[in-house]
Structure 1
Amino acid sequence: MFPVADTAPAPTGALATRLLILANALVFLLELALPEEVREEFFYLFGIVPARFTHPRWAEWVGFPVDTYWPFLTYMFLHGGWIHILGNMWTLWIFGDNVEARLGSLRFVFFYLFCGLCAALVHMETNPDSTLPTVGASGAIAGVMGAYFVWFPRARIILLVPIFFFPFFFEVPAFFYLGFWALSQWFSGSLALASPTEVGGIAWWAHVGGFIAGATACWVFRIGKPKTRPLQPDEMAHLWAWHSRR
C-alpha cells in the first residue's frame, strides 16, 4: 500500500516541510557525487551505528571519532538510494503540511528533529550491538505520521495498491491506515529481534519509536499556540471532493 494523497485541507505555504524536503534532496545529491567507497565511509561517520555509542572502546579501536553526537542529527538527512529518499519525501509531503499548520513552521522543525532523535534512541536501545549504519528520515517522518494520526484521524488516505501489475486505488480512514502501518512496524521489529543474527535493512523500531514520540509529544509542542478555528459545515465541501468523483 502506497499513500497517494489525503483529503485533509491542504494549507498554503508549508514552508518548513518544503525546506526539509529541499535539505534532504541537496544532501542526497552530495551523496551521489561521492565515490562509492567514500559514500560508505560517509554513512558510517554520519549515520547511526549503535555499537559506536554502546561500546565506546570498540568504537575508539575501530577509529570512530570520540565524544561526538552529531550522527543523531545528521542521520536523518542521509538516504541509501532513490527509492529510499523518494518514498520518504513523498510521505513527508502528504502528512507534513497539515501537521505543520497545527504547530507552526518553527515548532514543526523542532518537532520533526525531536521525533528523529527519539527514533534513533529507540533503534539504538533495541539494537545495541549493531555495527551497521542506519540512515534516513523515516523515523522523523514516522513522528509526523503519529501526530497526523492524533489530529486528523477522520481524514481519508488514498492508497495505491498494485494487484498483478495493475494499479488500484482505495480510500481508507487515516486512523485505519496509520494504525495498521504502526502495528506492522511493531510486528516486523519484533520478528527482527527474534532473529539469531544481525540483519541489515529497515530500522523497524526506529519507526515505532518515532511514531509513538510524535503521537504523544505533538500536544506538548503545541502548548501556548493559539488554537485553530474549527471548520464550519459550509467550509468542508473539499473534504468530500474525492467522493464526488467516484
Structure 2
Amino acid sequence: MIKTILFDLDGTLLPIDTDAFVRQYMRALGAYAGHLVPPAELVKHVWAATGEMIRNTDPGLTNAEVFANAFFPRVGVDREALMPVFDAFYREQFPALRSTCTGLPGIARSVVETALERGYEVVLATNPLFPRMAIEERMRWIEVDDLPWRLITVYEEMHACKPHPQYYAEVLERIGRAPGECLMVGNDVQEDGAAAGLGIDVFFVTDYLIDREGLALPPGRSGTLAALRALLAAGL
C-alpha cells in the first residue's frame, strides 16, 4: 500500500527544459564569479566536479563534500575566497533564472496538495546536485516551499545521486519506508525509473519527458502532471 509519494522537481513539478535551464544557470554562475575565475574555466571545472559527484556512492561523503574535493583543487582558488561568492550568487542572482521557466507556477501545488489531502506523505526527491538554497528557491517558483515535505534531498545531506540505487535506498532509510510503500513521480525514464530496481512503483510525467532509450511507458503509470492530479484525486 502506497503511503509516500516521492516527487522529482525539475521537469516534473517545475515546468522546465532541464538542459536549457542548466545552460542558463552555468552562464549566470560563470559571469557572476568571473572576477575570480575565467567563466569558461569555472564552468568546465563545475561540470567535472559534478561528474565526480554523480559517480560517487561513498556513504561516508556527502555530495557537497565530493563536489568540493573535486572542484577546489581543479580551480586553483581557495575555498574561503570562492564559497562566499557562490553563496551570494544563490541569494542574489539565482532567483532571476525564474524568467527562463515559462508558465509558472503551473499546477504543481495543486498536485502536491491533492496528494496530501488523500493522506499521502510527500518527499521532494530531486536529484541532489544543488545546495539547499537553490532547491528551495526553485520550490518557491512553483509555490510548494511551504508544504509539509517529509524530506527534501539536497546535496549537503545526501550521499548519492540518481540513478544510483543507493540514492533511493538512502531516501527509504531516512523516511523509514519500505519500497512497496512508495511511488516515485518523475520525468526522467532512466534516472527516476531507476527507483523500480528497488521495488518502488514509478509514475512518469510526460510534459517534459526525458527518455534516452525510447522505452515504452506503462499506460497506467504515465501521463501529464494534470493526469497525475486526477489519478491522485481518484485514488491510486
- Bucket of the pairwise TM-score, normalised by the shorter protein: under 0.3
Greater helix content: 1
Normalising by the residue count of structure 1, what TM-score does the alignment of the two structures yield? 0.26
Normalising by the residue count of structure 2, what TM-score does the alignment of the two structures yield? 0.27
Which of the pair has more CA radius of gyration? 1
